Amino acid sequence: MRLHLILGLLLLSACGQSGKREAPKETYSDSSLIGIADSSNAGIPDSTTAVADTLYIDAAKLIGKWIRPVEGLDKEVQGFQLRKNGTAKSINMYTLVYEKWQLINDTLLLWNHSEGVRDTTTIIDTTIIKALSDTSLVLFPIKAADGYTEHYIKQ
């Protein structure tokens, strides 16, 4: 019996070493290493490229009187005058007083205040120039609904 026990132990010991199975090697792939095209700057070669819908505006073309018909009063006009020295003036808008103007890229800024009211806080009207020629000016006020534009003619 002792011999069987010793032989059994030897057999178990031998089988344990020779029949020892290695755990199968698991392979993992890291998907973070897969190249994915970055489309965040698609079509823009570098950061100095201008936005496609930005117009080049010649500030000299803005100098002058710009008017448009008053809604409901076809014979009346209103608008503004832009001067070379950066000052601005209202045309036929007696409570809205323009003070100065500035052009930044395609954005026209008009400083104004209301006359004859308690609060005379200065306001800056911000408009995007959508079109400009020698005789016409199309503005989009940034606070306006999409598609709304104001059309002026040069006087």
- In the prediction, which pLDDT does 74 show? 80
Report pTM: 0.63
Number of H helices, E strands in the chain: 2, 8
Residue 86 neighbours by CB under 8 Å, 6+ apart: 100, 101, 102
User: Which stretches does DSSP call E strand in the chain?
Assistant: 64-70, 73-82, 88-91, 96-104, 107-114, 123-132, 136-141, 150-154
- In the prediction, which pLDDT does 119 show? 74
Within a 10 A sphere around the Cβ of 67, how many other Cβ atoms?
Answer: 18
**Element spanning 7, H or E:** helix 2-18
Pick the CATH number of 59-154 from 3.40.50.2300, 3.55.40.20, 2.40.128.280, 3.40.50.620: 2.40.128.280
- AA identity, residue 8: G
3-state secondary structure at position 48: coil
- In the prediction, which pLDDT does 116 show? 82
Beta bridge partners, 87, equal: 100
- Each residue's pLDDT, cut to its tens digit, for the chain (155 residues) gives 444 545 455 445 555 554 555 555 555 444 444 444 444 444 444 433 444 566 789 999 999 999 999 989 989 999 999 999 999 999 999 899 999 999 999 999 999 999 887 777 889 999 999 999 999 999 999 999 999 999 999 99
Within a 10 A sphere around the Cβ of 102, how many other Cβ atoms?
Answer: 13
From CA 122, how far away is CA 115, in angstroms rounded?
11
> Per-domain residue ranges for the chain?
59-154
